[in-house]
Amino acid sequence: MKNYKKISVAHELRTELHDSLDLTGAEISINTLPAGASVPFVHSHRLNEEIYAVLDGTGNAVIDGENVGLKAGDWLRISPEAKRRFFASNDTALKYVCIQVKAGSLEGYTMTDAIV
C-alpha cells in the first residue's frame, strides 16, 4: 500500500475530498459559486475551524454580521462558533477551497513534526 494518494478533480460546483483522498484529519472541499449566487444557508460549527483560500473571482462573506470582501489570493480563518455565509459578486464567480479541521488540534508545525 502506498503512503500517498493522488487524484484529479473535475470542474464541479462542489467537490469534497475526504472520501476520494481517504482524509483522516481534515475535511477539504473545492467550491464554485456562480456569479450572483450564495451558499443557501448561514452556518457555524461545534468543533471545527475553517480555513478558506480564494482561488478565483470576487465576493464576500458575512461573518457574525460583518461583511468581509473576498478576492483571489485571500486566505481567511473562521472560528467554529462564528456564523458565516458566502456570496459571489454579481459579475463574477467565486472559486475557493475550504479546509475544515478541529480547532486546537494542531500539535506541531512542519519543523517540529518533521522527521529528518
Query: What band does 1 get if pLDDT is binned at 50, 70 and 90?
Result: low
Look up the pTM and report it: 0.88
Give buried/exposed letters for 79-109 (b at 16+ CB in 10 A, else e). Answer: eeebebebbbbeebbbbbbbbbbebeeeeee
Over residues 18-72, the pLDDT tens digits come to: 888 989 889 999 999 999 999 999 999 999 999 999 999 999 999 999 999 999 9
